[in-house]
Structure 1
Amino acid sequence: MHAPVLNRQTLFSRLKDNSAVLVKSGEELIRNRDVEFPFRAHSDFFYLTGFSEPDALLLMSKIDGEERTTIFLRPKNLEQEIWQGRRLGVESAPATLQVDQAYSIEELDEWLPELLIGSEQLLVSFSDFSEWAEIIAPLIEQLKKQVRKGVDSPTTLFDLDVLLHEQRLIKNHREIELMRKAAQISVQGHLAAMAVAASANSERTVQIALENAFYQHGAQRVAFNSICASGENACILHYTENNAPLQSNALLLVDAGAEYHGYAGDITHTFPPSGKFSTEQAALYSLVLKAQQAVIQMIKPGVLYGDLHQTTLRILTAGLLDLGLLKGDLTTLVADKAYTEFFMHGTGHWLGMDVHDVGKYKIDGEWRPLEVGMVLTVEPGLYVSDRHQNVSAKWHNIGIRIEDDVLVTEKGCEVLTAGLPRTVAEIEQWFVEHSHK
């Protein structure tokens, strides 16, 4: 079955009778003058339609037990298509997208009120509520004017995110196949980054090799702006300039992922382009890897999400204490959050169509248990820069993050991004084996 059809069926099963769902694909945005940013459909819309044109709107209605799917989209226009690319068009939409009916987006004001007759509850994403208000306000006003004809207008607005984002959090079998592919394409990109790093003269050279491999292996786009950070730049969490020279004997932190049919990969790999870790680099790297592997080994259904982070904090704090970067009592240091000087972000996040994917982390104020079908990243890190004046200079400008994508399975977990050398020994051996290529 077409994946979006399956996704719609699941959502329909969760809707109350006499409800209607509205989801937009989004609009093209101008970058400068008459040049647009590359368009990517809103993830909720693509999840339910598999359609990626701008200026489209999906209506799912469940009225008196009848489920109907309607799409509004741009009509065919030969002149516009010559300049800007092909459009699916109204006539082809029902069969191609497996929807019940299609109308021109130019007819939205005419048809939408009629299609909503009988709807008591209207569901839209409150994340975009200001945009929906412009559509909903005149719509409700128009329906209320027909009250003497026996037409009732929706009386309840409901946040679609509550239903749809929880649905998206649990991946079905088709989504998991796509995420495996996105993950493995991402692995190939990171291997290409390693291969070029030894001879590269700049962060940008590494980025080019990385992203070129993504596209060569079937990615449609990058999942987010790639980070290729050498030396002190790795201590900037969201460094994306990628325009500095590679620093001799410094670590290179590469945080990047490929997007495949709407689903994101997300890997961070940290390694020495020279092929050899210094003593301090190896010590901090091994500590981060120890935390990451301990968390991955914990992942299985029923484990509380918050417990993963607590494991990271305790391992990293104990390691920093052993290395002399922190001083004091372990329990006190953890309680006082002394680790935030060197580790200031979470241990991971949900992953899916969005790189920071949707879904709640807590239920009724409590960390939620992991469930089969969830995909999350595991990405502890340590960042020691020259601002840490209380730390010996030999540790300065070492930024390390190690990140993999992990699927929760019935028996435990599956690391979707397996395939990179991870230990200090594995990375150094990789460079020995590939130095002649």
Structure 2
Amino acid sequence: MNSLIEDVSPIAVDVYRSRRERVLAQLRAQGGGLAVLSTAPEVMRNRDTDYPFRHDSYFYYLTGFSEPEATLVLNASARDGEPASILFCREKNVERETWEGFRYGPEAAAEAFGFDAAFAIGALDDHMPRLLADQPALFYALGTSAELDAKVRGWIDAVRAQSRSGVRAPTRAQHLLPIIDEMRMVKDAHEIAIMRRAASISAEAHRGAMHACRPGMREYELEAELLYTFRRHGAQAPAYGSIVATGANACVLHYPAGNATMRDGDLVLIDAACELDGYASDITRTFPASGRFTPAQRELYDIVLAAQSAAIDATRAGVSFDALHQAALEVLSQGLLDTGILDKAKFGGVENVIAERAYARFYMHRTGHWLGMDVHDAGEYREADGPRDEQGARPWRTLVAGNVLTIEPGLYVRAAEDVPERYWNTGIRIEDDALVTPGGCELLTREVPVAADEIEALMRESISH
């Protein structure tokens, strides 16, 4: 057997097969039907050059199959002896493999990834009318792709054309992705192991960037250090566009690494992490380009770190997703008052700062988001039902063991007449990845220092060498 086929471990195959079985069980509980899920399309970058291909996360979650031009069909109404999980993928093609690399082909893919059957992707349109005939429902990613919607209409029309023969088309179309979202929100042991490794690689990259940083360097030079470490340790790509921001640039939340020069006295904010085997990590650290915080920088940094500590303490199974955000808000709001960035005489106390959202000028994002196959991972943040608040919003979701989320408070203080000048153009964010446990949370990304003293010590060590 080809060595590339043998790279798919039996344990991983069992994981993906088990996930497909869980989806099939949910479809059967809803009366049966057929589910269709395709991987992401290849996208042209310019002329005859494509962007690097990245699979669709939902498709990969159920298959482990990373080749382009592939579709999964799950038949929850399959009778005994009929295939319930079917892969459509590219055929073997020796000539194309010479140019583009190895392809499994249907036969090898079915064996390696545990599908009941597999066919060439070119035969999908021929098979779908037969598979859809007399199905009670069709489950797919409703409204996510005009091309897919058009294909579905074509398949349904082909089934309806057989109505005089007594064949019926599905009478119900349902969105498939929420079913998978609920599964993806609770990570299994296979996922957690990959995410721990991704977090470790990303932490090493951040340590390397701190070691390398010197006044006079440009932002893109530190980005290069990060990307080098990601790939050197086997990560396939960055999980998102790396943010490397010096000075005032750190007040731009999604600032892409540019060519600004790091100056003595600047803070450097790095929000960057790798993707490993389909799973993202997500780390932010803020540190002084020269290796030492100024008193004003240290003051704000310690406020953000205290806010993160409060949010971490609030994170555990059984509490609201909003609890960590509210814990961080209280600390940040008090810090804004204590530093004089917000006027105590005007706002009085923390309660008024929060009620009037006065903090939002300096802290305009939430304290965390789901993390997994996507850096902003699948899953709702609010319950499907329950009593609504005064604004009509549903209750926040309750955390459960196995959720993975980020904890990332920050402060972004631009130059302004009503703000003490010593804080001008200071952007600070501290972000770690947390696995929710019954009694708290496990931080996956603390192999990179977070305390100001530890950051300064690491940078002094690099300078001395």
* TM-score above 0.5, yes or no: yes
Residue 19 in 1 paired to residue 39 in 2?
Answer: no
Partners of 2:206 and 2:134 in 1: CA distance: 53
In the alignment, what sits opposite 1:55? 69
Alignment match of 2:370 (pick from 333, 347, 350): 350
Residue 7 in 1 paired to residue 27 in 2?
Answer: no
Contact 1:200 1:206 in 2 (8 A): no
Within 5 Å, which residues of 2 pair with 1:401-416? 401-416=429-444
Contact 1:61 1:116 in 2 (8 A): no
Within 5 Å, which residues of 2 pair with 1:65-84? 68-84=84-100
For these two proteins, the number of residue pairs brought into alignment is 436
Residue 113 in 1 paired to residue 126 in 2?
Answer: no
Match of 1:393, as an amino acid? E
Within 5 Å, which residues of 2 pair with 1:8-407? 8-16=20-28, 17-63=31-77, 68-126=84-142, 128-198=144-214, 201-327=217-343, 328-330=347-349, 331-363=351-383, 364=385, 365-386=394-415, 388-407=416-435
Query: How far is 1:129 from its partner?
Result: 4.5
- Please, which runs of 5 or more residues in structure 1 have no aligned partner? none
Match of 1:355, as an amino acid? V
Worse-matched range after superposition: 120-129 or 309-318: 120-129
Give SS of 2:96's match: helix
Query: How far is 1:84 from its partner?
Result: 2.2
> Would the alpha carbon gap of residues 200 and 177 (structure 1) be closer, same or farther in structure 2, given more than 3 Å must change?
farther
Contact 1:63 1:118 in 2 (8 A): no
Partners of 2:336 and 2:342 in 1: CA distance: 6
Contact 1:18 1:65 in 2 (8 A): no
Contact 2:185 2:379 in 1 (8 A): yes
> Would the alpha carbon gap of residues 13 and 311 (structure 1) be closer, same or farther in structure 2, given more than 3 Å must change?
same
Partners of 2:410 and 2:143 in 1: CA distance: 30
Partners of 1:239 and 1:36 in 2: CA distance: 25
Partners of 1:82 and 1:291 in 2: CA distance: 54
Give SS of 2:464's match: coil
Contact 2:263 2:289 in 1 (8 A): no
Identity score, percent: 41
Residue deviations 1:10-63 (CA, integer Å, cap 9, x gap): 222222242111111121111111111000010001111111111111101111
Residue deviations 1:117-158 (CA, integer Å, cap 9, x gap): 342111112351533211110111111121233322111111
Residue deviations 1:318-346 (CA, integer Å, cap 9, x gap): 11100100012222121110001100011
Partners of 1:149 and 1:25 in 2: CA distance: 34
Residue deviations 1:213-261 (CA, integer Å, cap 9, x gap): 1111221111001011001110110000422111221000000111110
Partners of 2:126 and 2:182 in 1: CA distance: 33
Contact 2:413 2:425 in 1 (8 A): yes
In the alignment, what sits opposite 2:3? none
Match of 1:162, as an amino acid? P
Contact 2:242 2:257 in 1 (8 A): no
Residue deviations 1:302-326 (CA, integer Å, cap 9, x gap): 1101122111111101111001000
Give SS of 1:228's match: strand
Give SS of 1:14's match: helix
Taking only aligned residues, the RMSD between alpha carbons, in angstroms, comes to 1.4
Partners of 1:203 and 1:6 in 2: CA distance: 44
Query: How far is 1:392 from its partner?
Result: 2.1
Alignment match of 2:457 (pick from 409, 429, 432): 429
Match of 1:93, as an amino acid? A
Match of 1:203, as an amino acid? E
Query: How far is 1:423 from its partner?
Result: 1.3
Worse-matched range after superposition: 279-288 or 161-170: 161-170
Worse-matched range after superposition: 222-231 or 417-426: 417-426
Match of 1:356, as an amino acid? H
Query: How far is 1:301 from its partner?
Result: 0.7
Query: How far is 1:80 from its partner?
Result: 2.0
> Would the alpha carbon gap of residues 222 and 337 (structure 1) be closer, same or farther in structure 2, given more than 3 Å must change?
same
Superposed structure 1 runs of 4+ greater than 4 Å apart? 64-67
